Structure 1
Amino acid sequence: MRPRRGGPGLKVAATGQRASAASLARPPAFRGSFRAAPATLAAHSVSAGPFSIRPTAVAVPSDAEDVQTLITWAARQGTPVVPRGGASGLPAGNVGAWLAVDLVPGLGEIGNVDLTTGTLRCGAGAGAATVARVASRAGLAFPPLPSSAERCTIGGMVANNAAGARSFRHGATREWLAALDVVWPDGSRSSIEAGPDTAPTWSRELAADLSARLGGTVQDHGWPRVRKNSSGYALDRFLPGGDALQLMVGSEGTLGIVVGATLRLTPQPEERGVLLVGLPFLDSIPSASSAAAEANASACELFGRRLLDMAGLAVDPLVRDAAQGAAAVVLLEVEGDPGQVESGLAILKRWADEEGVGSVAATDEEGQERLWKIRHAASPLIARTAERGRRSTQFIEDSVVPVAAVPNYLRGVSDILERAGTEAVIFGHAGDGNIHVNPLMDLRALDRRTRVRTILEETVALVVGLGGTLSGEHGDGRVRAPFVDRIWSPELVSVFREVKERLDPDGLMNPGVILPLPGQDPLEGLWAD
């Protein structure tokens, strides 16, 4: 694969082309299924988020070579493609009005753990939780597992740079990749390894060109100073060395299709310990994060007041002393050998005592499971609100701000929601400044779309003012792409576009994701079902 210089630009962006189902005949030599039956299109028009966009056809490749055949054909035909994994994504990055490519059935293989290198090779369609179980049987772990691990795929995790509760210590997916197997927009295929020392020539040349064009570092041009980010292209990791793997991670299928990955694994910790702490004031959240860092904690999670009420924690005999009257609760976890867990918990307990706040500790497996259930119960509790005419609507669900700004972000979001006459369930990764806000929208309200648009616009302005981005682990998708030039400086957006045009000059790979199409509506497909 060699990026084109001065290519024709984003053809889809320029023409808004969309092939009809009738014009998409089965590609020659393609061995997988290729269908446009109404039921098939309907099944691939939805994902875990509130957006629904009907594709024109659905291709299900039989294996990686079949993906090559399909993409080579699509490039020649000028057919845009939308890669899909487990459909667990929220911001509409895996739905679109073109050819849907379902990577799960044909790319689910999982290799054996290589104990010498501590790695595991798998297909992009492999289930994340299944991979973790294979690693666990070898005494190893894959730390960035998200809460959707039972539904998401490794390819989806790579596409979004996904992360989970333990990202505070272990980081996101990009930290745990040794190599990627990629089918590029022209149908060629290659393996790229982590690190600039192994970067292919084209990647080093591209990085040199972009660095010269940008001038200075990305930080010089306003790169947000946040702990996590899954918005835009990862220029902070790609420049200046040209690590092609880092550029691909988080690119949401817009630069190529990941068909396989070699994962880095780590030994399972001997023990874990959990401390749940009630915070009477939101301003204590940065202090909690600092204590977690001092204790080398693996997790620093946040549960907002609304979630506490829905979970009934104020009357739960295990946690009521900590949760009663709290503005929020943080769950802190430490891991390692017995001495490290004991030391870490002691640091956290000392901090809680100094703050004068209630806490509950658990070092046994049963007690830890009970405390973690609060976090895992968030989604089912939110789903129950649909029974009362409200629906959790994920469109501001993944913003990330500097940790010191989290209290102001929470207060700002609360004000925005109050003006819109609604409320939200709030939880997330406090130690990373990555907060999940799930507005509970009244579907009976005639102005519901107007309210969503207002909440979204005002939240974007809030995040910009606090120096954050709109995604910490879910990706931009289609809902956040139209705000790229609000979050990022003109210089950085220009380089984002250069990356896209050099690697996908015809604009056929997941158009409208990360970078918007002309006139793109962030609420396209909202509640279309």
Structure 2
Amino acid sequence: MAAPALRALGLDADDSSRRRTEYSYDASNYRLSPLCVVFPRSDIDVATAARWCHEHGVPIIARGGGTGMGGNAIGEGVVIDFSRHMDAVTSVDVEGRTAVAQSGVVLTALQKRVREISDGTLTFAPDPSSQSRATVGGAIGNDACGNHSVRYGRTTDHVVAISLVTADGVRLTATRTGLTATDPADSAAVRRAEDLTDALRDLVGDNLAPLRTELERIPRQVSGYHLAHLLPERGFDVARALVGSEGTCVIVVSATVSLVPVAAHPQLLCLGYRDVVDAARDVPTMLSFSPSAIEGIDERIVATMRARRGRSSVEGLPDGNAWIYVELDEFSADDVPTAISDLLEKLRAEGRLVDARTVSDPAARSMLWRVREDGAGLSSRLVDLDDPDAGSGYESWPGWEDSAVAPENLPEYLEGFQDLLAHHGLTGVMYGHFGAGCMHVRITFDQRTASGRETMLAFCRDAAHLVVAHGGSLSGEHGDGRARSELLPIMYSPAMMSMFAAFKDIWDPARVLNPGSIVDPDAIGDHLALDGIPARTWTTAFDLGIPGPGDDGRADHPVEAPGLDPFVHATQACIGVGRCRSHSGGVMCPSYRATRDEKDSTRARARVLQEMTRTAPDIETGWRSKDVRESLDLCLSCKACSTDCPTGVDMATYRSEFFSHHYRHRLRPMAHYALGWMPAWLRPATAMAPMINAVLGSRLSGPAARVAGLDARRSMPRFARRKSVRAALAPLVRRTDAPVVLFLDSFTKAFRPDVAAAAARVLGGGDTEQVSCEKDNCCALTWISTGQLDHAKKVLTRTATALDDGTDRPIVVPEPSCAAALRKDLPELVHTDAAKRVAARVRSFAAHVGEMLDDGYTPPPMPESVTVQTHCHEYAVFGPATQVSVLRRLGVSEVTSADGCCGVAGNFGFERGHYEVSMAVGEQALAPALRARSDGAPVLTDGFSCAMAVDHLSGVDSAITSVTGTHLAELLDPRTDTLRPAPSRKDPT
């Protein structure tokens, strides 16, 4: 076995079934299970692994972020994951404009470090849409480009030197002028460098004519090997010849890369067109203005973004059905506004432009760029253009993903491509690098049926002939991999294909490096991930909203069609783009950001669930999967993935569903009883509040916590006394004539009754009789999060019946997690019209305050500064900017937002075994925000979990003292004045 042998050599090698599943997929259509995964910490570790694999004839697959769409980061051998430990930027030379980075460095991390050291003047240019999780090694392997490739070209253009390990474990360095031993004292490496140099020079000398005529014909000719760099006139550039070799020739361990100056004043021009062909016809005019970017998207992506994330997510786009982003800066023209004006004048004269808009605000530019960057994910599950509110209209897949032609040939190529799609009965979603002639296209392939796979293969062959007829390349960015290598003979002559094979054999004569790509490729139709999934019915409590043929998508109406079971289809929403592996931006995925381990990413959890539905001998055994249970252990159920994931993966829901089946008729963890049933015992607990609080403050708290399955290190909440609860809630009664309904959850009643009273006063304008209070029902959140769905459905059914009063009065919930449960989980678990009606009326408190402001509400004077802990569930269900937007509208001039999970996340932070990860999650945003907050600035924690996180951090971190979380209702309460400035302050309205 590979893993034990590699561990005996001192390597970190994991061959568990769960780990092998996580690395069986990348972002392509393919699935191949490795023997094991190795996590090296140095180039010595890599060389050790390579020597063992070479001696035993075991394939080696180098892997970075695993975001490639060609299937070139998976294989049936030893996967070497560089992203876990080999992620250092070892040096930055500002004067020489170079940086040295290990292969596992994420591109945005490299860019951030370079900007820090250069005082914001330099950066690493390649910026593919996956840059927040793609690595330097992956960018070199695929010759990645990015949104600004019109100016900065491909990764090839920025590689100065590559530190590599050969297939048999020798450490060498490839430079712009040759090949040397990494360690000059290593005589074997010196000899190997000399032998390889001689072989490469002989290959070039014997093939000068085809090397000069078949390669480097267009800006994005990425397919095949980049052998033209070895020509004498190119200086025998071995480093750049290895870029784009997809791990089939050498293992890249680090690289020296060149840096470029940062534009200080970019301006984004958004152009609307009737269709992508019209847009492409205007590209030559745009190119004449020396832009840094010319990027395009079509209407299906925009419609999906609007439906999934709200209309505000695409604000700023002009009218049209296809859009081009043109970015101009001080390197384009001395006077950028004049250049934009001149460009628009010329485009209008061409007669194809529909509308245009200039976007100068950095935040607005960032929002629009996100639409383009999330294209691959958004286009995988698209809304129906005729009915965008109906949910997913259809799905699309890679396969013919990134072909490229010369920019001037793009319009005719797109016309032919659209005709080809129609001929095969397919739809293509187009986006990409119009300025470089590279189109990303995701297509409605049906890979689940034999006929669908035959159509896909026939289309890809026809598409290869089409792009070659237009002088183009099968791949313009993502490499050939398993998706296109079989088609390379259509693009290249037999002589060139022979040279590719000879180049591979010079470096890897045993052919152990990433077999299946470029040379001796696997067939396109081999190893498809959607092929061979059993047609079984995984009955679910949740309505997953995914209809099949003749079905309404309800979970109690299972789909019988192969591959279209709602649960299977839901887990397949993950296509591996890996945004959950991002280190910054958004909230997803807090556990991965804490551990930096693939197993704790949303993607890995989805892949393990996919494997469960594929390989389990039967459904009962599948639901008992230990691999899935282990994979889901550190999921915080924060729901952020349902918003941040471009494909809409909702892991919190899948986790609850799995737990429901996994523990059916079995003993659950004690925390599921202690915390899952909390609403049932909270009311009697308040009667014994003094005694319980005394125990929690004594030495008995530790043993009591351990018995309940909790971590004794975590600060436990103190119960409000029954007298305080009665005093706060007594005036709040149910009224049929009040215009608004206040729903009081169990946590607010038991721990924060003053919040309930404050909320009622705010909603009623100081008069609680203007508010109808619901305090005898429950949102069932704790039962949902612990997967006790049978009981959750009973509780929610009662709640829906009680709240469905025949009115459309808004139901305002002070606790954001409970508001989210009533808005989203209620109609998905209780399949009645009453549940849908009630869910539509539910508002979080902050969201409703926004509506109050729309209706003319005049708030009291607000503090100058507020630090707000963004609540994950409110972020996911009611909108990412709900709290921040409302605070700014209320007149708070300085809003510091901690955009990241607090780490407590309901029961997660209290459960034994989660404390370290919980604290690490808190360090991602909340703890730094608390340390940096202005003295006396309120800390807004509408969520009870967030308040508990603040309370705990205040007790254990000496830099965070005397901080207490405040609810927005308390900030707005007309009876509260301690948090407010003097009334002489200008009225914010």
1:186 aligned to which of 168, 172, 192: 168
The verdict on how the C-alpha distance between 1:198 and 1:273 changes in structure 2, with shifts beyond 3 A counting, is farther
The one-letter code matched in structure 1 to 2:128 is P
> How many Å separate the matches in 2 of 1:443 and 1:236?
37
The one-letter code matched in structure 2 to 1:300 is I
Superimposed CA distance per residue, residues 309-350 of structure 1 (whole angstroms, 9 cap, x where no aligned partner): 44569x989556x433x4x32211112268353354244223
The verdict on how the C-alpha distance between 1:242 and 1:376 changes in structure 2, with shifts beyond 3 A counting, is same
Superimposed CA distance per residue, residues 165-216 of structure 1 (whole angstroms, 9 cap, x where no aligned partner): 0001011111122221101112110222234699975565344312332242
Superimposed CA distance per residue, residues 109-133 of structure 1 (whole angstroms, 9 cap, x where no aligned partner): 1224222222221111111111111
1:155 aligned to which of 117, 131, 137: 137
The one-letter code matched in structure 2 to 1:460 is A
Give 2:88's aligned residue.
109
* Alignment map for 1:113-128 (pairs within 5 Å): 113-128=92-107
Give 2:484's aligned residue.
480
> Is 1:366 matched up with 2:369?
no
The one-letter code matched in structure 1 to 2:371 is I
> Is 1:385 matched up with 2:377?
no
> How many Å separate the matches in 2 of 1:388 and 1:446?
24
> How many Å separate the matches in 2 of 1:101 and 1:153?
13
The one-letter code matched in structure 1 to 2:132 is E
Any stretches of 5+ residues in structure 2 without a counterpart? 182-192, 384-390, 532-609, 611-989
> Is 1:524 matched up with 2:524?
no
More displaced 10-residue stretch of structure 1: 275-284 or 66-75: 275-284
Instruction: Report the CA distance between 1:150 and its aligned residue.
Output: 1.3
More displaced 10-residue stretch of structure 1: 65-74 or 339-348: 339-348
> How many Å separate the matches in 1 of 2:519 and 2:379?
31
More displaced 10-residue stretch of structure 1: 151-160 or 232-241: 232-241
Between the two proteins, the alignment pairs up a number of residues equal to: 502
2:56 aligned to which of 68, 77, 80: 77
Q: Secondary structure at the residue paired with 1:51?
A: coil
> How many Å separate the matches in 2 of 1:44 and 1:28?
18
Instruction: Report the CA distance between 1:417 and its aligned residue.
Output: 2.3
Give 2:228's aligned residue.
236
Give 2:373's aligned residue.
376
Q: Secondary structure at the residue paired with 2:72?
A: coil
Give 1:510's aligned residue.
514
Give 1:413's aligned residue.
417
Does structure 2 retain, via aligned residues, the 8 Å contact 1:224–1:469?
Answer: no
Higher RCO structure (Cα 8 Å, ≥6 apart): 1
> How many Å separate the matches in 1 of 2:64 and 2:70?
14
> Is 1:460 matched up with 2:464?
yes
> How many Å separate the matches in 2 of 1:523 and 1:457?
15
The one-letter code matched in structure 1 to 2:348 is D
> How many Å separate the matches in 1 of 2:430 and 2:223?
21
The verdict on how the C-alpha distance between 1:472 and 1:340 changes in structure 2, with shifts beyond 3 A counting, is farther
Does structure 2 retain, via aligned residues, the 8 Å contact 1:231–1:476?
Answer: yes
Does structure 1 retain, via aligned residues, the 8 Å contact 2:41–2:85?
Answer: yes
Instruction: Report the CA distance between 1:454 and its aligned residue.
Output: 2.2
2:319 aligned to which of 319, 323, 327: 323
Does structure 1 retain, via aligned residues, the 8 Å contact 2:172–2:180?
Answer: no
Does structure 1 retain, via aligned residues, the 8 Å contact 2:143–2:478?
Answer: yes
The verdict on how the C-alpha distance between 1:28 and 1:34 changes in structure 2, with shifts beyond 3 A counting, is closer
Does structure 2 retain, via aligned residues, the 8 Å contact 1:394–1:439?
Answer: yes
Provide TM-score, normalisation by structure 1: 0.87
Does structure 2 retain, via aligned residues, the 8 Å contact 1:30–1:66?
Answer: no
Superimposed CA distance per residue, residues 423-455 of structure 1 (whole angstroms, 9 cap, x where no aligned partner): 121001011110000013456766322222222
> How many Å separate the matches in 2 of 1:367 and 1:503?
48
The verdict on how the C-alpha distance between 1:193 and 1:99 changes in structure 2, with shifts beyond 3 A counting, is same
* Alignment map for 1:18-57 (pairs within 5 Å): 22=1, 25-27=4-6, 30-57=9-36
Q: What is the RMSD computed on CA atoms of the aligned residues? A: 2.7
The verdict on how the C-alpha distance between 1:284 and 1:253 changes in structure 2, with shifts beyond 3 A counting, is same
More displaced 10-residue stretch of structure 1: 47-56 or 359-368: 359-368
The one-letter code matched in structure 2 to 1:384 is R
Q: Secondary structure at the residue paired with 1:473?
A: coil
The one-letter code matched in structure 2 to 1:345 is I
The verdict on how the C-alpha distance between 1:442 and 1:525 changes in structure 2, with shifts beyond 3 A counting, is closer
Q: Secondary structure at the residue paired with 2:99?
A: strand
Does structure 2 retain, via aligned residues, the 8 Å contact 1:295–1:347?
Answer: no
Superimposed CA distance per residue, residues 3-23 of structure 1 (whole angstroms, 9 cap, x where no aligned partner): xxxxxxxxxxxxxxxxxxx36
The one-letter code matched in structure 2 to 1:527 is L
1:304 aligned to which of 286, 298, 302: 298
> How many Å separate the matches in 2 of 1:492 and 1:523?
25
Superimposed CA distance per residue, residues 356-411 of structure 1 (whole angstroms, 9 cap, x where no aligned partner): 32221123323423432431342343243396474321100110112222122222
The verdict on how the C-alpha distance between 1:125 and 1:312 changes in structure 2, with shifts beyond 3 A counting, is closer
More displaced 10-residue stretch of structure 1: 506-515 or 519-528: 519-528
Q: Secondary structure at the residue paired with 2:268?
A: strand
Give 1:352's aligned residue.
347
The verdict on how the C-alpha distance between 1:285 and 1:218 changes in structure 2, with shifts beyond 3 A counting, is farther
Provide TM-score, normalisation by structure 2: 0.48
The one-letter code matched in structure 2 to 1:152 is A
> How many Å separate the matches in 1 of 2:150 and 2:499?
29
The one-letter code matched in structure 2 to 1:349 is L
* Alignment map for 1:263-342 (pairs within 5 Å): 263-280=257-274, 284-285=278-279, 287-311=281-305, 322-324=318-320, 326=321, 328-336=322-330, 339-342=334-337
Instruction: Report the CA distance between 1:292 and its aligned residue.
Output: 2.9
* Alignment map for 1:199-218 (pairs within 5 Å): 202=195, 205-218=198-211
Going by fraction, where is strand more abundant, 1 or 2? 1
Instruction: Report the CA distance between 1:468 and its aligned residue.
Output: 1.2
The verdict on how the C-alpha distance between 1:417 and 1:92 changes in structure 2, with shifts beyond 3 A counting, is same
> How many Å separate the matches in 2 of 1:235 and 1:47?
27
Does structure 2 retain, via aligned residues, the 8 Å contact 1:207–1:239?
Answer: no
More displaced 10-residue stretch of structure 1: 199-208 or 412-421: 199-208
Give 2:936's aligned residue.
none
Q: Secondary structure at the residue paired with 1:369?
A: helix
Give 2:108's aligned residue.
129
> How many Å separate the matches in 1 of 2:344 and 2:266?
15
Give 1:427's aligned residue.
431
Superimposed CA distance per residue, residues 458-513 of structure 1 (whole angstroms, 9 cap, x where no aligned partner): 21121122221111110111121111211111111111111011111111111111
> How many Å separate the matches in 2 of 1:206 and 1:318?
57
The verdict on how the C-alpha distance between 1:207 and 1:190 changes in structure 2, with shifts beyond 3 A counting, is closer
The one-letter code matched in structure 1 to 2:60 is V
2:453 aligned to which of 440, 449, 454: 449
The verdict on how the C-alpha distance between 1:285 and 1:208 changes in structure 2, with shifts beyond 3 A counting, is farther
The one-letter code matched in structure 1 to 2:150 is F
The verdict on how the C-alpha distance between 1:231 and 1:417 changes in structure 2, with shifts beyond 3 A counting, is same
Does structure 2 retain, via aligned residues, the 8 Å contact 1:352–1:359?
Answer: no
The verdict on how the C-alpha distance between 1:473 and 1:431 changes in structure 2, with shifts beyond 3 A counting, is same
Q: Secondary structure at the residue paired with 2:444?
A: strand
Going by fraction, where is helix more abundant, 1 or 2? 2
Q: Secondary structure at the residue paired with 2:74?
A: coil
